[in-house]
Amino acid sequence: MKKTISMLLVISMLVVLVGCGGSQTETNDANSSTDSGVSNETSNEEAADSSESASIRIINGKIEIDGALQKYAKAYEEKTGVEVIIESIGGGADIGATIKGYFAAGNMPDIFVFGGEGEFLTWEEHMEDLSDEVWASDTAVAYTSPDGKVVGFPYAVEGYGLTYNKDILDAAGVDPEGLTNINAYRDAFQKIEAMKDELGLTSVVSMAAEAGQMYWSTGNHNFGTYLSTGLEQGDTKYIDMLKNGEIDKERMTQYGEFVQLLFDHSDRNTLLSGTYDDQLALWAQGKTAFVHQGNWIDPSLPDYGVEFAMGISPLAFMEEDTDGILADAPSWWAVYNGGENAQEAKDFLESLATTDEGAQALVIDAGMISPFKSTTIEPVSPLAVDLMGWVQEGKTYSWQWAKMPEGFAMNDLGPVFEAYARGDVDVEGFVELMESAIGTLK
């Protein structure tokens, strides 16, 4: 039998604050308008009557959609009588450790986020079987356990690569459609670099590699290109090698050269000590041509008054063309099977998945692409619209990094990227460090 969660949590009980709030957790008041309301197709009056004082709590790992979720939660409560408490944890916070702390303290949320295979293996005994939910057959990206049970609710499809300011590329004479190999990127970066003063740029790229807060951007997202780029959907060659403690040295060297190219053309301060917000702000204010993020930045763009055209280009690290971006479900919501409000939690998820109001919240308010086939509402935010084009053309690669062991990106890969960004190692040294880190998985 698997070792239990409680055995893993002895240390977590000592170091994690288990009450709501704290410096790493942000829970906002729901002050947004609720003009559209929430359809009563899911819970209706029956749910409200049977659970007058019911309250469900959700751990959301995407701080940028907190406002949209708060708005929907308020509308849902007004319609059904079920209070929905959204607890959003953002940035570089260790969400897994926070949830483990809640579990150890007997303060487990009704719905919690998990990011892939590693976290699934930690929590699988505590996940409600969602296979019979009406939305389960309406999506291709629900999380399914090895024995075929649907245990993860997909709230979005997201995609990433190098997000560009098209106005800057146009001014520099760079066609983003040609950025499909490392040599094209070299030429484009050098051209823009030579025009920095003319274009009013601080750097060509905005990227952050500080391991403490930005490991997810380097050790998960960027490294995911090594694992997936150029492969057919479902091809697990390189993630399988990783799980066996092996690397493809030639491929890793090519990848390392591309990472070095990104680092060489990044703003040094942002690269070495910048936060997610620092990285985004530099690009959103027109100070860089590219930002190393995906369509999840859409909801934040109005805060900066962004008006320029934009899109996503591939993280094409090889000399051969790879014309595709990484797109998949970013994470999933599981229903805790040890709580008293599992049915209320499932009703809430059903409402998000099956009603027009739920689609409005996820697609329009949160700026995401719906993972549900029956959704007719299409995205309007710029990067979600661009991502939809990649998805519709079938130019996407899987998020195989989500299958890495829990904590591997944070504890093992993140520090390697930071050392590389600092210049402590060259490409050969980067490959050796990656080989050593991955070798611990044998």
Report strand pairing: 162-165 vs 158-160: unpaired
Residues 27 and 152 in one domain: yes
Instruction: Please indicate, yes or no, if residue 89 is contained in any of the structural domains.
Output: yes
Q: How far apart are CA 392 and CA 323, in angstroms?
A: 14
Q: Are 25 and 89 in contact (CB under 8 A)?
A: yes
Q: How far apart are CA 190 and CA 196, in angstroms?
A: 10
Q: How far apart are CA 288 and CA 158, in angstroms?
A: 23
Give the other-Cβ count within 10 Å of 150's Cβ: 22
Give the other-Cβ count within 10 Å of 436's Cβ: 12
Q: The domain that contains 340 carries what CATH number?
A: 3.40.190.10
Instruction: Please indicate, yes or no, if residue 383 is contained in any of the structural domains.
Output: no
pLDDT digits (tens, 9 = 90+) for 370-397: 999 999 999 999 999 999 999 999 999 9
Instruction: Please indicate, yes or no, if residue 387 is contained in any of the structural domains.
Output: no
- The DSSP bridge partners found for residue 312 are 163
Instruction: Please indicate, yes or no, if residue 81 is contained in any of the structural domains.
Output: yes
Residues 169 and 221 in one domain: yes
Adjacency order of strands within the sheet including 325-328: 158-160, 325-328, 396-397
Residues 145 and 244 in one domain: no
Which pLDDT value is given to residue 53?
A: 62
Which residue shows structure tokens 């303290």? 105
Residues 406 and 306 in one domain: yes
Instruction: Please indicate, yes or no, if residue 384 is contained in any of the structural domains.
Output: no
Contacting residues for 53 by C-beta, under 8 A, at least 6 apart: none
Q: Is 176 exposed, middle or buried (0-12, 13-18, 19+ CB in 10 A)?
A: buried
3-class DSSP assignment, residue 281:
helix
Residues 192 and 320 in one domain: yes
Interior/surface letters 408-423, b for 16+ CB within 10 angstroms, e for the rest: bbbebbbbbbbbbbee
Q: How many domains are there within the chain?
A: 2
pLDDT digits (tens, 9 = 90+) for 37-49: 333 333 344 444 4
Does the pLDDT at position 361 exceed 50?
A: yes
Instruction: Please indicate, yes or no, if residue 386 is contained in any of the structural domains.
Output: no
Instruction: Please indicate, yes or no, if residue 381 is contained in any of the structural domains.
Output: no
Q: Which of 391, 390, 401, 396 is nearest to 255 (CA)?
A: 401
Domain of 14 in residue numbering reads as 5-157+330-375
- When pLDDT is averaged across residues 216-241 and rounded to a whole number, the result is 96
Which pLDDT value is given to residue 94?
A: 85
3-class DSSP assignment, residue 345:
helix
Residues 153 and 227 in one domain: no
Residues 363 and 433 in one domain: no
Residues 163 and 152 in one domain: no
Residues 171 and 150 in one domain: no
Instruction: Please indicate, yes or no, if residue 388 is contained in any of the structural domains.
Output: no
Which pLDDT value is given to residue 166?
A: 98
Residues 424 and 287 in one domain: yes
pLDDT digits (tens, 9 = 90+) for 303-345: 999 999 999 999 999 999 999 999 999 999 999 999 999 999 9
Residues 345 and 317 in one domain: no
Residues 223 and 290 in one domain: yes
Q: Give counts: helices (H), strands (E), the chain.
A: 21, 14
